[in-house]
Amino acid sequence: MRHRPGNPTLVPVPPPAPVQLSAHRCLTRQAVDRALALDVDFVEFDVERCADGTLVVFHDSVVEVGGEEVPLASLSLDALRAVVPDLMLYDEVLDALAGRRRAHLDLKFVGSCAEATARAVERLGADNLVVTTLDDDAVREVRGWAEAHGHPDLLVGLSLGRRVTGFPVWRQLRVRASEVWPHLRYRQSRANLVVAHHWLARAGVAGFARRRRLPLLVWTIDTPRSLRYWLRPGRAFLVTTNRPEEALAVRGRRTARMWG
């Protein structure tokens, strides 16, 4: 309860909104259908681009062909389908989600990101979409497109927490420093959503988001302890998880206690 200015009457203060949930890495029709059967808020999927420009739902930038790793961007759709028979097209997953769930779109490629975003906005609506990417230029491209086409509030996030395995030590340190202290990258990319791996979020990025008054997306939260921590109302805007059933149960118990 709190006092309203100029009025001694106490007015109730509404509790923080529940943290929203995103079912992580829904890359096949089976995984998408599973997420749709749950009461999650978002369905997360990764998008790559084939050599012929076709957008597909796929996580990795390489695929094994004949025992060798081949860049996905060098393969046509037909060649990729020969080794990944259950491959989903980007448009197929948009059609599956339309009118049913919001989409958490994680772009894994660089270039033409605005075009991919435009297709999602056309199919789902800007209010039903979150766009994330590891690439600063891609964030800037999508933000520019969104503002130019009347969607300034479209949430576009710069993801922090990329893998640095195989990088020279100097580059590993440089990448991690830019993630622990992301001020410059966020200002230059113009991201309006903070996206962080959970350990980075705890290391200070959550505080950065609060100070900037930006919504926070934390990935990927799977352990019971982490779910209890991050699903506390007000701690984040959105959490991605590979265990959506457990996350929904944790959130449900918290909501029941708040309103019980």
CA-based end-to-end distance of the chain: 17
- Burial, 10: exposed, middle or buried (Cβ in 10 Å; 0-12, 13-18, 19+)? exposed
pLDDT tens by residue, 181-225: 999 999 999 999 999 999 999 999 999 999 999 999 999 999 999
**Where are the domains positioned within the chain?**
17-259
Show contacts of 113-116: CB within 8 Å, 24+ apart: 113/138, 113/141, 113/142, 114/141, 114/142, 114/144, 114/145, 116/47, 116/55, 116/90
Give the DSSP letter of residue 232: S
Task: Using DSSP, state whether 71 is helix, strand or coil.
Answer: strand
Distance CA 210, CA 215 (A): 8
CB atoms within 10 A of CB 83: 13
Angle at 38 between CA 35 and CA 257, to 5 degrees: 135
Cα distance between residue 95 and residue 88, in whole Å: 11
Our CA angle for 146, 38, 44, nearest 5°, is: 35
Q: Cβ neighbours of residue 36 under 8 Å, at least 6 residues apart?
A: 43, 96, 97, 100, 101
User: Mean pLDDT of all residues in the chain?
Assistant: 93
pLDDT over threshold 70, residue 1: no
How many Cβ atoms are within 10 Å of 81's Cβ, its own excluded? 16
| Superfamily of 17-259 according to CATH | Phosphatidylinositol (PI) phosphodiesterase (3.20.20.190)
Q: Show the tokens assigned to 5.
A: 């200015």
Per-residue pLDDT tens for 82-141? 999 999 999 999 999 999 999 999 999 998 999 999 999 999 999 999 999 999 999 999
pLDDT single digits (tens) 42-75: 999 999 999 999 999 999 999 998 889 999 999 9
Please choose, from the candidates 55, 75, 193, the residue with its C-alpha nearest in 3D space to the C-alpha of residue 118. Answer: 55
Q: What is the pLDDT of residue 167?
A: 87
pLDDT in tens, 17-37: 899 999 999 999 999 999 999
Beta bridge partners of 193: 157
